[in-house]
Amino acid sequence: MAIARMRSVVLDCQDPKRLADFYSAILGWAITSIEDDWVVVTDGRPERICFQLVKDHQPPDWPHPDRPQQLHLDLTVDDLDQAEDEVLALGAVKHRYQPSENDSFRVFLDPAGHPFCLCAD
């Protein structure tokens, strides 16, 4: 029996609304709560992604160890090339470091600098 249930993944950032818009567009989830320092994105289930204001947020500099990635999201897609074009149009940046040996996933940075991966289904 579990001790707890997953509630939220929370990402620190300087602009919670902008980052919520970004992930809302990628996942097709709705923004369900907007405050000055906290924005929530969900698909209606209890699980959600939240974006929290941290005014002096310093994005990760992965794979450099001084500011490691800390956390990243793996997002499954049907077509890596199409999904790459779409996330780039939304403001993502393709990371210079691509560790996948067989192109089964690609690493990007969201608008706040957090790494995330698009993964082949």
| 6 against 78, higher pLDDT | 78
Burial group, residue 74, by CB count within 10 angstroms (0-12, 13-18, 19+)? exposed
Please report the pLDDT score of residue 14 as a whole number.
Answer: 94
Strands 105-109 and 115-120: antiparallel
Please report the pLDDT score of residue 47 as a whole number.
Answer: 85
Q: Does residue 79 contact residue 64 with C-beta atoms inside 8 Å?
A: no
Query: pLDDT band at 63, cuts 50/70/90?
Result: confident
Please report the pLDDT score of residue 29 as a whole number.
Answer: 97
Please report the pLDDT score of residue 86 as a whole number.
Answer: 95
According to DSSP, the residues that pair with 93 across neighbouring strands are 109
pLDDT value at 107 more than 90? yes
Q: Residue 96 has which token pair?
A: 């210079």
Average pLDDT, the chain: 92
For the chain, list the strands marked E by DSSP. 8-13, 30-35, 38-42, 48-53, 73-77, 93-94, 105-109, 115-120
pTM: 0.85
DSSP structural state of residue 56: T
Give 78-106 pLDDT, tens digit per residue.
Answer: 999 999 999 999 999 999 999 999 999 99
SS3 content of the chain, % helix, strand, coil (to 5): 20, 35, 45
